[in-house]
Amino acid sequence: AMNCSVTSTDYQFYLFPAVYTLALVVGLPGNVAALVAFSCRAASRTAFSVYISSLALADLVILCTLPFRIHYHLNGNSWVFGDVLCRVTGILFYANIYLSICFMTCICVDRYVATLHPHT
């Protein structure tokens, strides 16, 4: 038998901050670039570009909560930013999951309809 001193939840102190940091480093410039690219193409404002812009904006909102979550996990799951910010970041974090699913569903339906009716 193998005795491991790492409990089943100890991974969150180093894995979550690493994943969140990677998401922040890649996601922040990527979503800003997407917003700029789709905002500059105002002449070709389509449903698809609106959905993509909305998805990028929703992703930027969740990226703004990640520094707080990174600090939380690195600090041994101890929240130091107050109750209000804890609730706000939690609401934004979980609401973003549903918003992203909604926008991706809209994109899928839009692409499906465009495939069925390509010339309309």
Find all residues with CB under 8 Å of 87, minimum gap 6, and list them: none
Rounded to two decimals, the pTM is 0.78
How many residues does this entry show for the chain? 120
Domains and CATH numbers, the chain: 11-116 (1.20.1070.10)
Backbone angles phi, psi at 19, to 5 degrees: -65, -45
* DSSP category for residue 9: T
User: Going residue by residue through the chain (120 aa), what tens digit of pLDDT does each one get?
Assistant: 544 444 557 888 889 999 999 999 999 999 999 999 888 876 677 888 888 999 999 999 999 999 999 999 999 999 999 999 999 999 998 999 999 999 999 999 999 999 998 876
For residue 33, the Cα-to-chain-centroid distance in whole angstroms is 15
Rounded to an integer, what distance in angstroms lies between the CA atom of residue 98 and that of residue 42? 27
